[in-house]
Amino acid sequence: MHRCITTLSGPVRRLDGGTMFGSMPRRLWAKQFEPDQDNQIALAARAVLVQEPGRNILVLAGTEALLAPLPRTCRCQPQPKGLLGSLQALGLGEDDIHAVVLTHLQAQLPADLRNAMQEGDVPRLLFPAAQLITGRHQWSRARHPHPHDRALFVPQIIRQLGDSGRLELLDGAGREVLGAGWRFHLSDGYTPGQLLPEIAMPGGPVIFAGDLVPGIHWLQLDVTTAYDRNPECLIGEKERLLDYLVAIRGRLLFARDPEVALIKVVRDRRSNYQAFDRQRVLDRLDS
């Protein structure tokens, strides 16, 4: 089957640097990401478009990109480039998306969107005809969140997903849902039931890392974030996934790295994981 993978860029996300690097001292992570006056660092909001004969499939890390953009209050305001803008550049619109894979259901909302939703202005979900795919365990977590991560599950989004009638919940590898060439790795360290899709390609499979490995700097096993629900579990999952990629000569797609979209993973003489053959963007990776 012919398959094409393209990365899509949304608005830059700004999150607290200390939160993203957990227990790593600021003097170390600040050498890699220059924080602003509020201690925030710029991160990517990268999605993946997989095009196959007769269908287009989106892969999203979280649900914030699934919300329609807020209308501009005046025409002088620039419309930020979001997911729809990236799709439009490829000649695609909402109705051209047949399925959306949500690695997890948490959302990091920008301040304007968060304020609008608190005032009752809830945007609709994009892609009204698409099948929505996520993990059953994650769906249960989203409906009954733990106080540790309750703020990251937006009730208005979860309600719309449940009312859509298009939600498909996966228990395991889920090969039958999207067919040949697709499988899913389950991860519980960042959030219970995160799905990491593996997509078969001739040069080696590609795995979307979601929030298990946000970017290159998190290849180091002991680097975790304060968002991680179970850091010890996450480190074990990360090591198993990276060892698997090394063994099969696979590639890793990053959701959050602002400089790098795709890498191959190797182990050096000290058994540390290293990024090889870095690609900043992925215009078209064809099978």
Q: Which helix H or strand E contains 178, and what residues bound it?
A: helix 175-178
- Whole-angstrom Cα distance, residue 181 to residue 175? 8
On whether the pTM is more than 0.85, the answer is yes
- Domain membership of residue 48 (yes or no) is yes
What's the structural domain count of the chain?
Answer: 1
- For residue 110, the domain's CATH number is 3.60.15.10
Say if CB 50 and CB 57 are below 8 A apart: yes
Which 3 state secondary structure label does DSSP give 183?
Answer: strand
pLDDT of residue 183: 94
- Whole-angstrom Cα distance, residue 82 to residue 80? 6
Place of tokens 């025409």: 75
Say if CB 103 and CB 73 are below 8 A apart: no
- Whole-angstrom Cα distance, residue 231 to residue 189? 6
pLDDT of residue 80: 59
- Among 68-72, 110-114, 201-205, 236-240, the range with the most confident prediction by mean pLDDT is 236-240
- Domain membership of residue 72 (yes or no) is no
pLDDT of residue 274: 95
Q: Which of 31-40, 87-96, 109-118 has the lowest mean pLDDT?
A: 109-118
Q: Which domain holds residue 52?
A: 4-67+82-286
Residue 109 has pLDDT above 80, yes or no: yes
- Whole-angstrom Cα distance, residue 255 to residue 214? 6
- Domain membership of residue 97 (yes or no) is yes
- Domain membership of residue 74 (yes or no) is no
Q: What are 51-77's pLDDT values in tens digits?
A: 999 999 999 999 999 999 887 665 665
Q: Which amino acid is at 285?
A: L
- Domain membership of residue 73 (yes or no) is no
Q: What are 125-134's pLDDT values in tens digits?
A: 999 999 999 9
Mean pLDDT of the chain: 92
pLDDT of residue 78: 60
| 189-to-56, 124, 212, 223, 226 alpha-carbon distances in Å | 29, 30, 7, 13, 11
- Domain membership of residue 233 (yes or no) is yes
Handedness of CA 87, 257, 139, 108 (dihedral sign): negative
Residue 81 has pLDDT above 70, yes or no: no
Local structure of residue 240 (DSSP, 8 states):
H
Mean pLDDT to the nearest integer, 24-36: 94
Q: What are 150-166's pLDDT values in tens digits?
A: 999 999 999 999 999 99
pLDDT of residue 146: 94
Provide CB contacts within 8 A for 55, sequence distance 6+.
98, 99
- Domain membership of residue 77 (yes or no) is no
- Whole-angstrom Cα distance, residue 218 to residue 239? 11
- Domain membership of residue 130 (yes or no) is yes
Q: Which residue would you say has higher pLDDT here, 58 or 113?
A: 58
- Whole-angstrom Cα distance, residue 217 to residue 17? 12
pLDDT of residue 284: 77
- Whole-angstrom Cα distance, residue 118 to residue 3? 41
**Beta-bridge partners for 266:** 274
